[in-house]
């Protein structure tokens, strides 16, 4: 099985400096924010890889870099074996032909002035291919009716809109779909419908998903392999069952402890300690040490390397 997506030491810095005039007057240095910090991962074909983490952990940025919407600062992003960072624009566009994306906010991801038919057919129409009946067929495939093609997006609910987004993503027969929190804006009852639809479509069409989410129950339902991000760095990565059975990194353990659970109602939970630190001035050593119960002097001074323990990759001095 070959890898659909392969990231090697992917890094992305954002310039968050104040305007040059302020810097001169207030004598401030340039400031950068490392949104993605040396992330390496592989997503095999026909599998679901989930990225989880708190807000600001860089998971959406990784998705957008893979989609080519945000450039990488350094590193390698291979889509179907082609590095989209170093090749020319045309080859990168060619590599992304079979890559699509589903966005978080179904209210912002459909052009309100376009009819559903045109929205769904756009990825195909832009290549100059005839699109007769395409939108109607896809609408039925995602559980809407062909008659909806003549309507405008405002005539649909959030869940229906997300189905339209899925139909658009499928129109160009992609092999990879990046799902950026596709259900976090939806009601819980609608969430499961949309997730089941996505699972079914994946099996039918042999798709690969890069699934970005902060919702652990959703991830447990969907993913084959899970990567946990903290401050832009991958702190732990493991097959789903492995990760849920035996989380190695203290951050992962804290996430699991904090997540609400249906099967343990009324349990006492230690609330997560502290906040994500300032990404512009991250703490030295392991970025997690201010919140970590296991932190030692080693953690406060030395950045941990990624280590392999069984099927798990973990970035912690103390994990075993």
Our CB check for other proteins shows the closer of 92 and 303 to be: 92
Provide the minimum distance between the beta carbon of 119 and other proteins in the complex, in angstroms, as a whole number: 8
Residues 156-175 interacting with other proteins (rule: CB under 8 A): 168, 172
Candidates 3, 76, 82, 146: give the one binding other proteins (CB under 8 A): 146
Q: Which span (31-39, 71-79, 142-150, 297-305) binds other proteins, by CB under 8 A?
A: 142-150
Would you say 239 and 225 are in contact if contact means Cβ atoms under 8 Å apart? yes
Our CB check for other proteins shows the closer of 110 and 299 to be: 110
Helix (H, G, I), strand (E, B) or coil at 7: strand
Our CB check for other proteins shows the closer of 160 and 252 to be: 160
Write the CB contacts of 209 (distance below 8 Å, at least 6 apart in sequence). Answer: 47, 48, 49, 176, 177, 178, 179, 198, 202, 222
Write the CB contacts of 296 (distance below 8 Å, at least 6 apart in sequence). Answer: 317, 318
Query: According to the binding rule CB under 8 A, does residue 210 interact with other proteins?
Result: no
Would you say 39 and 10 are in contact if contact means Cβ atoms under 8 Å apart? yes
Query: According to the binding rule CB under 8 A, does residue 154 interact with other proteins?
Result: no
Query: According to the binding rule CB under 8 A, does residue 108 interact with other proteins?
Result: yes
Candidates 100, 160, 208, 252: give the one binding other proteins (CB under 8 A): 100
Q: Which span (4-12, 39-47, 143-151, 291-299) binds other proteins, by CB under 8 A?
A: 143-151
Query: According to the binding rule CB under 8 A, does residue 122 interact with other proteins?
Result: yes
Candidates 45, 83, 105, 215: give the one binding other proteins (CB under 8 A): 105
Q: Which span (6-14, 19-27, 65-73, 231-239) binds other proteins, by CB under 8 A?
A: 65-73
Q: At 95, phi and psi to the nearest 5?
A: -65, -30
Q: Which span (33-41, 100-108, 262-270, 281-289) binds other proteins, by CB under 8 A?
A: 100-108
Query: According to the binding rule CB under 8 A, does residue 1 interact with other proteins?
Result: no
Closest CA to 255 of 272, 267, 233: 272
Q: For residues 205 and 129, what is the distance between their CA atoms, to the nearest angstrom?
A: 21
Helix, strand counts (H, E) of the chain: 11, 12
Candidates 71, 81, 150, 260: give the one binding other proteins (CB under 8 A): 150
Candidates 62, 110, 166, 194: give the one binding other proteins (CB under 8 A): 110
Our CB check for other proteins shows the closer of 110 and 201 to be: 110
Our CB check for other proteins shows the closer of 64 and 317 to be: 64
Would you say 209 and 199 are in contact if contact means Cβ atoms under 8 Å apart? no
List the structure tokens of 11.
Answer: 């890094």
Tell me whether residue 199 is exposed, middle or buried, using C-beta atoms within 10 angstroms of its C-beta: 0 to 12, 13 to 18, 19 or more.
middle
Q: Which span (22-30, 67-75, 297-305, 310-318) binds other proteins, by CB under 8 A?
A: 67-75
Query: According to the binding rule CB under 8 A, does residue 111 interact with other proteins?
Result: yes
Write the CB contacts of 64 (distance below 8 Å, at least 6 apart in sequence). Answer: 70, 180
Question: Which strands sit side by side in the sheet containing 32-44, from one edge to the other?
Answer: 32-44, 3-15, 74-79, 82-83
Query: According to the binding rule CB under 8 A, does residue 104 interact with other proteins?
Result: yes
State the pairing for strand pair 74-79/82-83: antiparallel
Q: For residues 114 and 101, what is the distance between their CA atoms, to the nearest angstrom?
A: 19
Residues that bind other proteins (CB under 8 A): 64, 67-69, 93, 96, 99-101, 103-105, 108-114, 119, 122-123, 126, 132-133, 136-137, 146-150, 168, 172
């Amino acid at each position: 099985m070959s890898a659909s997506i392969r990231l090697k030491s992917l890094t992305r810095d954002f310039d968050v400096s104040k305007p040059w005039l302020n810097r001169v007057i207030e004598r401030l240095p340039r400031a950068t924010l490392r949104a993605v910090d040396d992330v390496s991962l592989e997503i095999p074909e026909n599998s679901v890889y989930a990225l989880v983490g708190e807000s600001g952990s860089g998971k959406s940025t990784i998705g957008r870099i893979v989609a080519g919407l945000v450039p990488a600062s350094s590193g390698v992003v291979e889509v179907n074996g082609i590095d989209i960072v170093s090749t020319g624009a045309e080859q990168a566009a060619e590599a992304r032909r079979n890559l699509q994306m589903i966005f978080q906010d179904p209210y912002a991801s459909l052009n309100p002035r376009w009819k559903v038919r045109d929205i769904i057919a756009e990825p195909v129409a832009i290549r100059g291919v005839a699109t007769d009946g395409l939108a109607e067929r896809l609408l039925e495939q995602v559980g809407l009716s062909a008659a909806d093609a003549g309507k405008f997006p405002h005539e649909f609910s959030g869940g229906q809109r997300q189905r339209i987004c899925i139909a658009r993503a499928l129109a160009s027969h992609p092999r990879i779909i990046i799902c950026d929190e596709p259900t976090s804006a939806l009601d819980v009852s609608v969430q499961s419908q949309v997730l089941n639809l996505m699972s079914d479509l994946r099996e039918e069409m042999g798709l690969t998903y890069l699934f970005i989410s902060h919702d652990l129950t959703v991830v447990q339902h969907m993913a084959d392999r899970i990567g946990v991000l903290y401050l832009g760095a991958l702190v732990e990565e493991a097959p789903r069952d492995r990760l849920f059975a035996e989380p190695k990194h203290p951050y992962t353990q804290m996430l699991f402890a904090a997540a609400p659970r249906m099967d343990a109602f009324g349990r006492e939970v230690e609330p997560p300690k502290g906040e994500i630190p300032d990404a512009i001035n991250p703490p030295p050593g392991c970025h997690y040490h201010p919140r970590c119960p296991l932190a030692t002097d080693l953690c406060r001074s030395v950045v941990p390397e990624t280590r392999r323990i069984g099927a798990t990759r973990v970035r912690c001095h103390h994990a075993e």
